[in-house]
Amino acid sequence: MPVAFLRTNIITLSLLCAAIFGTANACADSDTFFVRVAEPYIELHTGAGRGYPVFYIAERGEQVEVLKKRTDWIKVRVRKDTPREKEGWVSLEQMAKTLTADGEQLALAYPDFDAYKKRRWEGGLMMGSFSGADVVSVYGAYHFTPNISTELEASQYFGSFSNGEIATISLVHQPFPEWRISPFFTLGAGMVFIDPKSTLVQSKNRSDEVFDVGVGVRYYLTRRFLVRAQYRNYAILTDQSTNQNAEEWKIGFSAFF
């Protein structure tokens, strides 16, 4: 009985292993295509990174099947359906020199300053000060044109007297998208949810509408990265007799794709 039990366990385990290690690319077959090596050779690494060793060299003229992409690496399969079938990762630089079926160089979107100027999506995280309170933000942006974009931003602030969340949608204008250090202007609207500290007397949660104007600067670092700093002035439309103003400074780290 224990032996049978052990055997079943081993079978289950090996099946599980096969499921995990073996058929990794079963679902990746749908959208593959072939390119031909045009340079003397390309190098296949065991993983998507220059730190992983080269284990195979595909020579000029060899057919290479493109499977998938991760960051700046492309997974390929060579010598398909032969005993020497191999799968490995090739850098974007080397893949960009291979030829497609119609003899043209494989067009790959390489993340550089030109790609940055044509970017559609951008997202990142920022931190700073909102009326003296620490604030953490995440944002996502969609660029309609190089000049005009829209942004969704969610923030949480942690103050001495209250904590809260801010959610805004903004229209952003960037007058000089071709500059590496490029200013932008924002106009936004949203909501602020204020949660006064429980130790204070008048502690009642409230939510108010906010409008904001802002100015900021983006700095393209390298590859897919940019640094971003911004200032915003919020008008909080309270249900009291006067509206409140709040100033916010933030700096953050973003990526585009």
Single residue of 1, 2, 5, 31 touching other proteins by CB under 8 A: 31
Question: Quick check: 255 binds other proteins (CB under 8 A)?
Answer: yes
Cα separation, 118 vs 129, in Å, equals: 31
Options 8, 9, 46, 207; binder of other proteins; rule CB under 8 A = 46
Q: Is 109 helix (H, G, I), strand (E, B) or coil?
A: coil
Contact status: 24 vs other proteins (CB under 8 A): yes
Number of residues in contact with other proteins under rule CB under 8 A:
51
Q: How many CA atoms lie within 13 A of 163 on its CB side?
A: 6
Please tell me whether residue 150 binds other proteins under the rule CB under 8 A: no
Kindly report the CA angle at 243 between 239 and 245, in degrees rounded to 5?
Answer: 135
Using CB under 8 A, pick the residue from 7, 12, 33, 85 that binds other proteins.
33
Nearer Cβ to other proteins (14/240):
14
Cα R_g (the chain), whole angstroms: 26
Q: Which stretch binds other proteins (CB under 8 A): 46-54, 209-217, 227-235, 241-249?
A: 46-54
- Which part of the chain contacts other proteins (CB under 8 A), choosing from 5-13, 30-38, 171-179, 212-220? 30-38
Q: Segment contacting other proteins (CB under 8 A): 6-14, 179-187, 217-225, 242-250?
A: 217-225
Q: What are the C-alpha distances in Å from 187 to residues 30, 141, 149, 252?
A: 44, 14, 11, 19
Nearest Cα neighbor of 151 from 101, 113, 187, 203 is 187
Is residue 52 classed as helix, strand or coil in its secondary structure? coil
Min CB(114)–other proteins separation in Å: 17
List, in sequence order, every beta strand (DSSP E) within 46-180.
Answer: 54-59, 63-70, 73-78, 86-91, 121-130, 133-143, 148-158, 162-173
Which positions touch other proteins (CB under 8 A)? 20-21, 24-25, 28, 31-33, 46-53, 66-75, 100-102, 106-107, 123-125, 127, 134, 136, 138, 156, 158, 163, 195, 197-199, 223-225, 253, 255, 257
